[in-house]
Structure 1
């Protein structure tokens, strides 16, 4: 069902362009094109009009019966092509459901195999039967004395009233406020759930934080401790290497420092051969000073490396505590523990101030609800006003169609807040004087319901985008002036939507812009149902036959021409 947002302005007419039926009951093959405006289908009783409608109903999601597959070597195929120019709500639905979309046409197809397997397609995309049904309700609406799907649906009834109330702008504003209210409620629920979980874990959270606080971790502490531990664990080897390095640099028995000093003394006797610009003595002195400084640094390091076992034990104990908490909390290192610790503190601080947070979110939700309710009440007022006028108008339009005792009441009742407002709309009718008002889908005969739907469509057709509509012999049981009024009403509706009617009445048939005849044709082996578009001359004879029975005389021809002239 279309949302009211699509009704801000009337879109292009939806047209059933063509219908293909093959291997279905008495139909071996039918390919027929339809037209905009008012199409009329006539034919003798039993010719197969109901078979065509039965095939078409499969596109509305009706259950498939394998008995209709005539040729056991082929599948039965029903395909309808619709013009869907400017139909944003259906386009959005198809895109959302990953169904192929064409901006100009929509193709529905149903296939039934001889084995009973049924497949459904929308624009060649395979779809579940429920999706085919949902799409088809946007495109075609079949009304008969025994079937009236659309009229009884709450969505359609609400759409009718909202259209007549010009509620599209109000509904758009309301939905923005309603969505804001839902988001506010959602945030409140999430916060309450979060706080509830935090309350349940509060004691444990405080215990975890206490452990981490006791450890008093510092950023970068773990790698420094690990370095110190590695040094202490290798102290013997380190001191041996230091001793070797120091003795190599500064030893009376031939260390590097002593060798440089000897070289410097030897160079003192080479003044005659050394160039003063080379400054050999100065350079050797620089080397001696550098070696002496390095030896002093290494000696200081050696002196500072104590062998106190308690230092190593303390480091190992602290690292063990860090490793234990990392393993417990599934964290990689001490820096991650610090981050986790700070998160626990934030969690407890939020818990301590949770009352204020909840109170603020509750205020937001109340404000959002009040704004949404304000918009909903405006919509309700408009709906009630439109409903009262529509009920009266509906009775006025429908009574001349043979329902002189008709009473209509369009009830707008309070309901829980939803995406459509705070109302339930229900069409209540009574067709007899002594009959109480009842929901439209639960009362009256099929003919009365069909004529009521015809009246509703005549009122709303110019304001609301409607699917192509097919009336199946809804004029059964009426004649004369009522039949003429029904035909005129269908013709008037067809100015705004495509109307196709199956009828036996000449008064109705004559009003159509195009007339089709359903008939049977025999071959050597079987009988087949056919359908053909009639020429103007064929229409005259067809309507004359409807007027005069089997005998078509001059009077019947003249009467038929008169009816056609006044359409």
Structure 2
């Protein structure tokens, strides 16, 4: 059997409707589920639908004292798109296994988990739909979806790479159009503000602002404002060093005389006088520097007023423009200048952006045309293939037309699509929703999935009694079609038809079992002998005889 890269490996259901606890392990090929009407097959599907995000019904909680749990374990291998989605949403990921769980409390509160990570119901639903698809007569709206129809044709035409390249070019085109619109909006806004912008620029230019001048001016103002204290401090220092009755220089000179005399007496004291002389020279130099400070510092009220006026002008501009530094005012000034320059060059700017948008559109249209050509070619092949597969399923008068209509560029190309069908002679072609019965739609979807099973990355499929209303050779053909799909993806079929049931490689039976208190729904995998008996019942009714068993063995190719 072909190795399938993802499949529903096991399903656990507990405390749900008539099910107390059920654990099922499925095969990776064609799994058959049978059982009498009312045995509980729909209960199992209802439980699995909770994994797919269906609304929880508290009436389905069997025992009001505990929660219902539905857990599906999927074997996965090489599923990069799902891995990327899970990691992007902070969901734990295992490259071999994905476990989806839904818990419903008796009060109705529901919780969802993926690989034991709590998730929203939307996240659970999105991941589950990549892993399992429940296909029934009530869930065939997909066939009426233009998105699904286009995806089918693209998959059959092998357009994945071309479509990916086109989407990149389309994104570039949309980006170019966005830049053009933004430029037009910005230029229009700038034009409406032109006079005010020009006035603000002239005001800033008139200031002749210099970077860091504010700090320098504030420093100079600090000095001029405290001139009296500064000069008093300098004079105090000069008195201590030079001018006072007992100043440092005179004391050092006196000390030098004493040390010179001492040097004539003590052998080790002869350098003291020289050292004091050096200190005296240093002190004199300090005093000269202080005197220079005193001479240079003059309290000029006019200079202080000019600094105050300049700073007030700077502060006013900063307050007006909501900035705090001269550097920011200079940046703002240059932005006003650039804005006016853009206006002067706006016609050239728009012309260049329009050229860019036209080039990008032309490149996108080039690939869109290739897509349209390949879609048209594939549409004809698909019509013939679908007709060939579906007509033997009881639709001998089936007509099919894939209608492709040119449209404006979109993320999928330049085509709109409609699948048109007629099921009777002289009937006009119409969209499937307005012309087909539920059974016909089911058989069409079965045929389509048989065509695309090896082309699209489909999830595991559960066919829920899609063979209702057919029998004989048609039933046999539908079973063979599901069997062929199962060569590429895991298939589970809930059926009442022995012709379909015989084609599975694993067969499960749903049944009811009573105890002294209540009725329970059970499911178990049938052995070969049990399967023969089950098919015999399906063939002949309640009475199972040797002839019925022989017919069952014949269906199973058992001698």
Distance change in 2, residues 1:261/1:104 (3 Å): closer
Question: How far off is 1:423 after superposition?
Answer: 2.2
Helix, strand or coil at the partner of 1:552:
coil
Kept after mapping to 2: 8 A contact 1:487/1:509: yes
Question: How far off is 1:400 after superposition?
Answer: 0.6
Q: How does 1:37-48 map to 2 (within 5 A)?
A: 37-48=29-40
- Which residue of the partner structure matches residue 104 of structure 1? 96
Which moves more between the two structures, 429-438 or 35-44? 429-438
From 312, 316, 319, give the equivalent of 1:320.
312
- Which residue of the partner structure matches residue 198 of structure 2? 206
- Which residue of the partner structure matches residue 489 of structure 2? 497
The answer to whether residue 139 in structure 2 is matched with residue 143 in structure 1 is no
Kept after mapping to 1: 8 A contact 2:260/2:272: no
- Which residue of the partner structure matches residue 483 of structure 1? 475
Which moves more between the two structures, 334-343 or 33-42? 334-343
Question: How far off is 1:252 after superposition?
Answer: 12
Measured against aligned partners, the alpha-carbon deviations of 1:526-545 in whole angstroms (never above 9, x if no partner) come to: 22222121111112222222
Distance change in 2, residues 1:454/1:226 (3 Å): closer
Kept after mapping to 1: 8 A contact 2:224/2:300: no
Kept after mapping to 1: 8 A contact 2:461/2:491: yes
Structure 2: distance between partners of 1:393 and 1:246: 111
Distance change in 2, residues 1:300/1:513 (3 Å): closer
From 506, 517, 523, give the equivalent of 1:514.
506
From 353, 361, 366, give the equivalent of 2:358.
366
Distance change in 2, residues 1:527/1:263 (3 Å): closer
Question: How far off is 1:43 after superposition?
Answer: 1.9
Please list every run of 5 or more consecutive structure 2 residues that lacks an aligned counterpart in the other structure: none
Question: How far off is 1:188 after superposition?
Answer: 2.7
Kept after mapping to 2: 8 A contact 1:209/1:341: yes
- Which residue of the partner structure matches residue 187 of structure 1? 179
Question: How far off is 1:267 after superposition?
Answer: 13
RMSD between superposed Cα atoms in Å: 3.5
Helix, strand or coil at the partner of 2:107:
coil
The answer to whether residue 83 in structure 2 is matched with residue 91 in structure 1 is yes
From 46, 51, 64, give the equivalent of 2:43.
51
Helix, strand or coil at the partner of 2:138:
coil
- Which residue of the partner structure matches residue 5 of structure 1? none
- Which residue of the partner structure matches residue 6 of structure 1? none
Helix, strand or coil at the partner of 1:565:
coil
- Which residue of the partner structure matches residue 533 of structure 2? 541
The answer to whether residue 452 in structure 2 is matched with residue 460 in structure 1 is yes
From 429, 432, 436, give the equivalent of 1:440.
432
Which moves more between the two structures, 376-385 or 303-312? 303-312
- The alignment's TM-score, normalised by the length of structure 2, stands at 0.88
Kept after mapping to 2: 8 A contact 1:447/1:474: yes
The answer to whether residue 156 in structure 2 is matched with residue 164 in structure 1 is yes
Structure 1: distance between partners of 2:255 and 2:109: 107
Structure 2: distance between partners of 1:141 and 1:363: 47
Distance change in 2, residues 1:499/1:316 (3 Å): closer
The answer to whether residue 394 in structure 2 is matched with residue 402 in structure 1 is yes
From 48, 52, 61, give the equivalent of 1:69.
61
Which moves more between the two structures, 168-177 or 549-558? 549-558
The answer to whether residue 518 in structure 2 is matched with residue 529 in structure 1 is no
Measured against aligned partners, the alpha-carbon deviations of 1:301-344 in whole angstroms (never above 9, x if no partner) come to: 65555554323322222222223223333333434433433333
Kept after mapping to 2: 8 A contact 1:520/1:528: yes
Helix, strand or coil at the partner of 1:50:
helix
Kept after mapping to 2: 8 A contact 1:11/1:87: no
Distance change in 2, residues 1:21/1:212 (3 Å): same
Measured against aligned partners, the alpha-carbon deviations of 1:146-170 in whole angstroms (never above 9, x if no partner) come to: 3325433333322211111010110
Distance change in 2, residues 1:530/1:340 (3 Å): same
Question: How far off is 1:399 after superposition?
Answer: 0.5
Structure 2: distance between partners of 1:477 and 1:318: 95
Kept after mapping to 2: 8 A contact 1:14/1:466: no
- Which residue of the partner structure matches residue 556 of structure 2? 564
From 367, 371, 374, give the equivalent of 1:382.
374
Question: How far off is 1:451 after superposition?
Answer: 1.1
Kept after mapping to 1: 8 A contact 2:407/2:415: yes
- How many residues align? The count is 557
The answer to whether residue 466 in structure 2 is matched with residue 474 in structure 1 is yes
Distance change in 2, residues 1:415/1:260 (3 Å): same
Distance change in 2, residues 1:566/1:447 (3 Å): farther
Question: How far off is 1:441 after superposition?
Answer: 3.9
Measured against aligned partners, the alpha-carbon deviations of 1:531-564 in whole angstroms (never above 9, x if no partner) come to: 1211111122222222222222222222221111
Kept after mapping to 2: 8 A contact 1:252/1:258: no
Structure 2: distance between partners of 1:150 and 1:159: 11
- Which residue of the partner structure matches residue 222 of structure 1? 214
Structure 2: distance between partners of 1:286 and 1:43: 117
Kept after mapping to 2: 8 A contact 1:13/1:465: no
Which moves more between the two structures, 39-48 or 162-171? 39-48
- Which residue of the partner structure matches residue 545 of structure 2? 553
The answer to whether residue 10 in structure 2 is matched with residue 32 in structure 1 is no
Distance change in 2, residues 1:443/1:129 (3 Å): farther
- The alignment's TM-score, normalised by the length of structure 1, stands at 0.87
Question: How far off is 1:143 after superposition?
Answer: 2.2
Helix, strand or coil at the partner of 1:531:
strand
Measured against aligned partners, the alpha-carbon deviations of 1:507-534 in whole angstroms (never above 9, x if no partner) come to: 2221111222222211112222221211
Please list every run of 5 or more consecutive structure 1 residues that lacks an aligned counterpart in the other structure: 1-9
Measured against aligned partners, the alpha-carbon deviations of 1:54-83 in whole angstroms (never above 9, x if no partner) come to: 222222222222222222212222222222
Structure 2: distance between partners of 1:436 and 1:27: 48
